[in-house]
Structure 1
Amino acid sequence: MASPFLSLPGAVGEAVALHYGAPVQEQRALDEGNAAVDLSHRGIVTVGGADRLSWLNSMTSQHLLNLAPGESTETLLLDPNGRIEHAMRVVDDGETTWLLVDEGSAESLAAFLNRMRFALRVEVADVSQDFAAVLAFAGGTAVEALRELQPTVEWADPWAEVARGGAQYAHGAHAGASWSAIQFVFPSDRLAEVSRAVSPAGLMALDALEIRAWRPSRAADVDERAIPHEFDWLRSAVHLTKGCYRGQETVAKVHNLGHPPRRLVMLHLDGSEGELPVAGALVFREGEASDPDARPVGRITRAALHYEWGGIAFALLKRSVPGDVTLAVRAGADAADPAAPVEGVIAAAQEMIVPTDAGATRTIPKLKRL
């Protein structure tokens, strides 16, 4: 069923609107708290039952045992090697734990959780067809308008601060320190009412604000090799001393003794040509992007036009790339294919998120050899 937001004037998109005809103005309104984004294409999984929090706590990266009703957090489901499988925005209403997940994730997450129930008192349901989320930022009129509609539950993004038990790799002031995103969950049959109550902003606006705040996304930025350390996700989604869970050994080893193999950076893109790179576009050291035989040092995960900062992008780079090196991004529709002809090059300057020395927080004394 098409979202009622797609019926609003100027809406451009398929599952949800990418924009409503004025993406830059929508972005400013969203940032100021005066607009809301339709996230009805994303998934929602609920877990009921007396054992729900202890059960989820045993499998995922965040400490959930003492999660109070109405308290928001986020957690990751990792594979046995510590790679990210699911990112879950978590809030409990006292009877049910709500897991808000990215598009395409709810069905597989619910299937996994149902396989892990055993004899515990838990009930798992994929309610993505029955409920939908809408996002707004604090500080303006949108949050108040959405609360007046009495949502089923709301989730406040914890990205602005380092969670208890977490760790931050980024040095100095964090770009997400003022992040105030809130997701409101409504029954799907009330979306038309919600769409009339707030000014709309599209996904393009949210993308730009997330990149500027260094906020990673499971759907947009994570690939099959990704571990939490590469995105500085230990600050909000990982509790480093909670005990054993799937993938915990990798989390502990990389943080305490090793370094993440890749690191997320924000790129400031040269805007002289007015072009943004596509997701997957290859990143090179300055001066090498035009060479068809050059080896890339990373790839773009997503890019956007920020209303104040211009062209910006997330890139996953090899850890060995120094933080002060100027980079270049291959442009064009086939920029993710190393064998494709080079159509254009976009100069890019790094803004450090995960530093090259991230991890290795423990010093192990060397034993003298006999």
Structure 2
Amino acid sequence: MVDLGRIPGAVVDDGVLQHAGSPLAEQRALSSGRAVDVLGDRRVIAVTGEDRLSWLDSISSQELRALEPGRSTETLVLDPQGRVEHAASVFDDGETTWLIVDAADAEALLAWLMRMRFRLRVAPRDAGDEFVVVGGVADAVTPWVGHTGVPLLWRDPWPQVAVGGWSYAVVDPHPGGDRSWTEGLVTPDGLDALMAAVTSGEVGVAGRVAAEALRVAAWRPRWATEVDGRLLPHEVDWLRTAVHLDKGCYRGQETVAKVHNLGHPPRRLIFLQLDGSESVLPERGAEVRAGGDAIGEVTSAALHFEDGPIALALVKRAAPVPGDLTVETPEGEIAARAETIVPPDAGRTAAIPRMPRLSRRTGSG
């Protein structure tokens, strides 16, 4: 839809701007609102029809039935065992519900939505040719405003705990509190104008490398990186923004409730501060070890402009962290210092009354 190669210094891979020559400088500009990111790895699905919100509410993890126009949230589609299959950023403009999703998940999610329509008045469609997603912080993004008067803009609710949600992370303040991320829908004409402003130097631009570094530093989970086919939302603290624990039934709800109230998630997300002396980052799936024993895998890694090399990793619930770990890289092992995101005792929140024990009766009968 747009020639990203015309951006000075652009490095483009499979239609996604990776960086424009200076990833660390782009991070600073992106975090301060002086740059935007054309998110070629995000795609748009539109859902119209009178039943759209109640329908989406019934098939996903978030309460959407009464979603007000302009309010942003996110939702998950789970399998019957409560594992994450799809994830979507959600907002409504009064006539259409807009889902912003990772591009690799868009086709499968849309196909599933089409199968779930039954006789309801809903019409999902791929809107990827109508809009491009542009990301940035605060008011850096100028989205399309349709005839309903609602800007097509999603404001990331992370890390605030939504109504019906739950926080497992125990840190205060949360490191994601300073990241006011937004994603706006821009028409092809609007994107052409934006690219003209970028090439003339009027607007700064950042690539995926910069945006991912800010996300990792905020402990923010993402479908494209943290979801691996067996992920439970509890494991990455996704109950805080994407799951309503008190809403009606949906697929996977029983597992969500059981793990949260009666059990513990089998894995948990940790944050890693990596040794930067070798100037190397681990790949997704890199093994994390403690005392020589494998305890989990890296899901995301990035070079942050302030924190240096950092990563997110999913480890066994009983893994001995925080503490000193090692991570495998193509150049060998590097040291890492771990910080807890989801604690080992996450879950088991139900206050179940204990039955009084019956003492043996003694004495003659």
Same fold (TM over 0.5): yes
Measure how far apart 1:131 and its partner are: 1.4
1:13 aligned onto 2:12: yes
8 A contact 1:322–1:356 mirrored in 2: no
1:242 aligned onto 2:247: yes
Measure how far apart 1:274 and its partner are: 1.2
- Alpha-carbon distance in structure 1 between the residues aligned to 2:105 and 2:227: 13
The equivalences for 1:143-222 within 5 A come to: 143=141, 146=142, 150=145, 153-173=152-172, 174-197=174-197, 198-222=203-227
The match for 1:226 is 231
8 A contact 1:91–1:99 mirrored in 2: yes
Classify 1:177/1:101 alpha carbon distance in 2 versus 1 (closer, same or farther; 3 Å): same
Residue of 336, 345, 351 corresponding to 1:357: 345
- Greater mean alpha carbon deviation, residues 152-161 or residues 162-171: 152-161
The match for 1:256 is 261
Measure how far apart 1:325 and its partner are: 2.9
8 A contact 2:274–2:337 mirrored in 1: yes
Measure how far apart 1:324 and its partner are: 2.9
TM-score normalised per structure 2: 0.91
Gaps of 5+ in 2: 198-202, 360-365
Measure how far apart 1:255 and its partner are: 0.5
The equivalences for 1:83-102 within 5 A come to: 83-102=83-102
Residue identity opposite 2:167 in structure 1: Q
The equivalences for 1:332-351 within 5 A come to: 332=330, 343-351=331-339
SS at match of 2:337: strand
Residue identity opposite 2:156 in structure 1: D
The match for 1:37 is 37
The match for 1:267 is 272
- Alpha-carbon distance in structure 1 between the residues aligned to 2:178 and 2:271: 17
TM-score normalised per structure 1: 0.90
1:310 aligned onto 2:298: no
Residue of 298, 304, 326 corresponding to 2:324: 326
- Alpha-carbon distance in structure 2 between the residues aligned to 1:137 and 1:356: 33
SS at match of 1:36: strand
The CA deviation string for residues 11-64 of structure 1, in whole angstroms up to 9 with x for no partner, is: 102211110000000001001111111113322111101000000000111111
Measure how far apart 1:138 and its partner are: 1.1
The match for 2:200 is none
Measure how far apart 1:170 and its partner are: 0.4
- Greater mean alpha carbon deviation, residues 347-356 or residues 151-160: 151-160
Residue identity opposite 1:251 in structure 2: V
Fraction of identical pairs, as percent:
52
- Alpha-carbon distance in structure 2 between the residues aligned to 1:267 and 1:190: 39
The CA deviation string for residues 236-295 of structure 1, in whole angstroms up to 9 with x for no partner, is: 000000121111001100100111110011100011111111111101014x2xxxxxx4
How many residues are aligned here?
347
- Alpha-carbon distance in structure 2 between the residues aligned to 1:100 and 1:71: 14
Measure how far apart 1:346 and its partner are: 0.7
RMSD after superposition:
1.6
8 A contact 1:160–1:178 mirrored in 2: no
Measure how far apart 1:363 and its partner are: 3.5
- Alpha-carbon distance in structure 1 between the residues aligned to 2:175 and 2:273: 14
Measure how far apart 1:110 and its partner are: 1.2
Residue identity opposite 1:231 in structure 2: V
- Greater mean alpha carbon deviation, residues 5-14 or residues 184-193: 184-193
The CA deviation string for residues 199-258 of structure 1, in whole angstroms up to 9 with x for no partner, is: 110100011100100111100121001010001000000000012111100110010011
- Alpha-carbon distance in structure 2 between the residues aligned to 1:244 and 1:211: 32
- Alpha-carbon distance in structure 1 between the residues aligned to 2:41 and 2:328: 31
